[in-house]
Amino acid sequence: MADNQNNQEPENLTRRQYRKIRGNKRPQQKDDDLNPGDFEPSERVSRVSPGETQPTNNEDYKTPRWLRINRRLNISIGVLIVLIIIVYLILFFVN
């Protein structure tokens, strides 16, 4: 590397060798702390806090605004599909 100002360090070092030279500025992890078989979840993790209840009715989110946005999305998807088909037909018949 051209911008290597310290001429004492060789060009090709592994990360371990580089960290030894630099003085280990990062804290080291012990392998004993992270055994993959030792992990046992103590309780089930949920996005809902214990005080909140999840809505049981599936129709709660279907407000008039949601229905309007859903209809617009369906129309825009349909228009895009039709436009893609038109482009392919033009490309097929022009060549």
The residues spanned by each domain of the chain are 65-95
Which residues does 61 contact at the CB level (< 8 Å), separation at least 6?
55
- Residue 8: per-residue pLDDT: 60
Q: What is the pLDDT of residue 15?
A: 83
Amino acid sitting at position 79 = V
| pLDDT by 10-residue block (mean), the chain, 95 residues | 54 83 67 56 62 65 90 98 97 88
- So what's the pLDDT on residue 88? 95
User: What is the reported pLDDT for 92?
Assistant: 93
Q: Tell me how far apart the alpha carbons of residues 11 and 67 are, in angstroms, rounded to a whole number.
A: 62
- The pLDDT of residue 32 is 56
Query: In this structure, is the dihedral angle defined by the CA atoms of residues 72, 61, 45 and 51, taken in order, positive or negative?
Result: positive
Region class of 24: left (phi > 0), else alpha (psi between -120 and 50), else beta: left
- Write down the pLDDT at residue 61: 78
- How far is residue 11's CA from residue 27's CA, in Å, rounded to a whole number? 25
Question: pTM of the prediction?
Answer: 0.38
